[in-house]
Amino acid sequence: MERKDKRKIKITGTGFYVPDKVLTNFDLEKMVNTSDEWIFTRTGIKERRIASKDQATSDLAIEASKLTLKDAGLKVKDIDLIITATSTPDTIFPSTACWIQKGLGADIIPAFDISAGCTGFLYGMILAESMILNGQHKRILLVGGEALTKVTNWKNRNTCILFGDAAGAAILEESHDDSGMLSYYWKADGNLGDLLYQPAGGTRIPASTQSLAQDLHCLQMKGNEVFKHAVKRMEEAALEVLERAGLKKEDIDFLIPHQANKRIIEAIGRRLRVPPEKVYSNIHKYGNVSVASIPICLHELSQEGKLKKGDIVLMDAFGAGFTWAAVTYRW
């Protein structure tokens, strides 16, 4: 939606963290029947980062949060809410946000997770807006973190090539100038839930010897169907969010799509008629890191000096659920 009172929230700091271990396409050639050329041609991925055995999602998120606080010139005591978007929580309960709170040494403040697949970071921005503009919170730490390789079936060459581990974060607070979030659009369709999901581990299929033997604790994806719905829904979200902000396609200075597959990224750019140089992508370095992809892109764009004050950024994502969302933002 578009706010009628013109009050906005803005990003005042960004940061991200990736594990040290790099898994290249050449490494994968030794694990499954694939090749560097096959992977890169179809996905745009050259390498991805892999969390160590003793690294959980919160460990990545804590490091990303520290760097984000530093970027914003803040201390942990300055935040009054932690929202964590993840599909790979440390534990079913407590929330990963609470583990992050503990790890950061934060005050006794609210902390909770949201589960919206790869769309989670944008869902988190939308939630943060209402919490800040209604006066309940002043400064929110929004974290998107995943350790997807821990739920990856390394025998399945169609999925094991895609995913990596990472965390990205942002500080959100009310804007007092022209910069900030201009409009948003978010939707979900649970009828498409089986396109991308982790069957076991919840109450539908609790852990058992049988579920483990059948690899039901690993993510499963119907790739062709995901591609079709992703492109359609991301285009829908982008067009709707531009209209709500009173913007045109030509106004986009940077398009940041969720980094799932280079073919999806390129398809969205073509449909929106955004020149390739304005479509930001880093999938070659990290693979699909789900909710961490958009904040990582934001941080890299900012650090590379490519974002100028007043630039219009369109963030667009889809994910398990099936969920999709877009946000327009004036830098």
pLDDT in tens, 223-241: 999 999 999 999 999 999 9
Is residue 225 domain-shared with residue 192, that is, in the same domain? yes
On the question of pLDDT at 81 being above 70, the answer is: yes
Q: What is the CA radius of gyration of the chain?
A: 19
Is residue 173 domain-shared with residue 251, that is, in the same domain? no
On the question of pLDDT at 6 being above 90, the answer is: no
For residue 311, CA distances in Å to 250, 257, 296, 307, 328 come to 12, 16, 18, 7, 10
| Average pLDDT, rounded, for the chain | 97
Is residue 135 domain-shared with residue 246, that is, in the same domain? no
Q: Within a domain: residue 1?
A: no
Is residue 294 domain-shared with residue 317, that is, in the same domain? yes
145-195: per-residue pLDDT in tens? Answer: 999 999 999 999 999 999 999 999 999 999 999 999 999 999 999 999 999
Q: Within a domain: residue 133?
A: yes
Is residue 35 domain-shared with residue 172, that is, in the same domain? yes
Q: Which domain holds residue 290?
A: 181-330
Q: What is the pLDDT of residue 2?
A: 54
CA pair distance 295, 168, nearest whole angstrom: 5
Q: Which residues are catalytic?
A: 118, 258, 288
Kindly give the pairing relationship between strand 312-319 and strand 323-330: antiparallel
Question: Does the CA dihedral 81-87-93-94 come out positive or negative?
Answer: negative
CB atoms within 10 A of CB 275: 9
What's phi and psi for 320, nearest 5 deg? -60, 140
Is residue 187 domain-shared with residue 171, that is, in the same domain? no
For the chain, what is the domain count? 2
Is residue 188 domain-shared with residue 164, that is, in the same domain? no
Residue that is last in its domain, among 177, 209, 243: 177
Q: How confident is the model at residue 291 (pLDDT cuts 50, 70, 90)?
A: very high
Is residue 104 domain-shared with residue 194, that is, in the same domain? no
Asked if residue 79 lies in contact with residue 106, where contact means CB atoms within 8 angstroms, the answer is yes
Give burial (CB, 10 Å; 0-12/13-18/19+) of 79. buried
The alpha helices in the chain, defined as continuous H runs, are: 25-29, 36-43, 57-72, 96-104, 120-133, 209-213, 223-245, 262-271, 283-286, 293-303
Q: Within a domain: residue 114?
A: yes
Is residue 140 domain-shared with residue 272, that is, in the same domain? no
